[in-house]
Amino acid sequence: MTDRFVDRRYLTGVQYASDANLSSRQALYRFQDPPVRNPVWTLDLAELRGDERVLDVGCGNGVHLAELAGRAHRGPVFGMDLSPGMLTAAGSRSRASLLVGDAEQLPFAAGSLDRVLAMHMLYHVPDRDRAIAEIRRVLRASGTALFLTNSCRHLEELNDMVAGALTEVGASTEASSGRAYLGFSSESGDAELRRHFASVERHDVRSELVVTDARSIVEYVATMSWIAEAARPVLREVERRSSAVIEAEGAFRIRTDVGCFVCR
C-alpha cells in the first residue's frame, strides 16, 4: 500500500475534498446485475431495533446515514469523517449529527454507543489497530461494530485492464498492485479484528457490473489516485480497451466482491 492511501492531507485535500470522486465511483454501480445495495444488507446485519445510538465512522457522503433515515431510526445517529467536504454531502442526505473527527481518537465516551459502522474506510487509517481499539472502546458491552471492505478480487477485470493500459503507455504498474483495500480486505481483516472482538463473523456478497458504456469506465478510472501521473494517455487506452470489449461482447463484465465483518 502506498502512503497516499493513508496520507490525510491528500485524502482530505484532494481525493475526498468533496464527494465528487466518490460519487463518480458510486455511479458505475448502476450497471450492477443483480443490483446490490450495500447500505441495505449491511444495516440488516446490524439487527437494529430503531432506538440505538449509532456512529458511522468515515461516513463519506452519507449513504448509510441516508438508509438509517429511510428506516426512520429513532435513536441518536452520528456521522463522522475526517473531511469537511464529505460531511457537506452527507448533510444533504440525513439529519444525523455530523462532526469532523479522527477514527484513531473517537470523541465519544467509553461504552456510549450501541452500533458503530466503519464502511469502506478502515484501509485509509494510518494506525488501524488503534482505530479498531477505539471502536471497541466506545461500544457498549452488548454493542456491535460493522466493518465493510472489499475482497482482493473486487473489480478484478477492471484493475487488470488498467494495469495493462499502464504497461501499454509505458507507465509504471507498481502502484496498481497497491490498491487501498488490499491493506484491509475481506480476506485479511479477520485477524486484525479478533485482537479486539471476541466474535467476528464475515458476510460476503458478490455480483458483477455489466457495463455497456465505455465512458462510464473511463470516468471511474479517472478518480483512481494511482493513475494520476499518467492520466491522459492511460484514460485514452482504457477507453480503447473497454470499447473493444463492449463492441465484441456486448458488455464489459467486472466482478464485485465485498465483505462485511460483524463484530461483538
3-state secondary structure of 114: strand
DSSP 179-200: -GGGGS-TTTHHHHHHTT-S-E
Q: For residues 96-100, give the mean pLDDT.
A: 98
Residue 162 in grid coordinates? 488498467
Q: Which of 247, 176, 246 is nearest to 217 (CA)?
A: 246
Q: C-alpha 118: how far from its chain's center? A: 9
Q: Is 60 exceeded by the pLDDT of residue 221?
A: yes
The percentage of the chain sitting over the pLDDT mark of 90, rounded to a whole number, equals 81
pLDDT (tens digit per residue) in 150-169: 999 999 999 999 989 988 98
Question: Which of left, alpha, beta for 58 (phi over 0: left; psi -120 to 50: alpha)?
Answer: left
**What fold does the segment set 3-152+178-206+258-263 form as a domain?**
Rossmann fold (3.40.50)
Q: Which amino acid is at 119?
A: M
Q: Which of 107, 58, 45 is nearest to 37 (CA)?
A: 45
Q: Where are the domains of the chain?
A: 3-152+178-206+258-263
Q: Which residues pair with 204 in a beta bridge?
A: 259
Residue 179 φ then ψ, to 5°: -60, 145
Q: Which amino acid is at 117?
A: L
Query: Residue 80 burial by CB count (10 A; 0-12/13-18/19+): exposed, middle or buried?
Result: buried
Q: C-alpha 3: how far from its chain's center? A: 17
Q: How many residues does the chain have?
A: 264
Q: What is the pTM of this model?
A: 0.93
Residue 226 in grid coordinates? 494511482
Q: Is 50 exceeded by the pLDDT of residue 26?
A: yes
- Please tell me the predicted confidence (pLDDT) of residue 180: 75
Higher pLDDT, 134 or 173: 134
Q: How are beta strands 200-211 and 252-263 bridged, if at all?
A: antiparallel
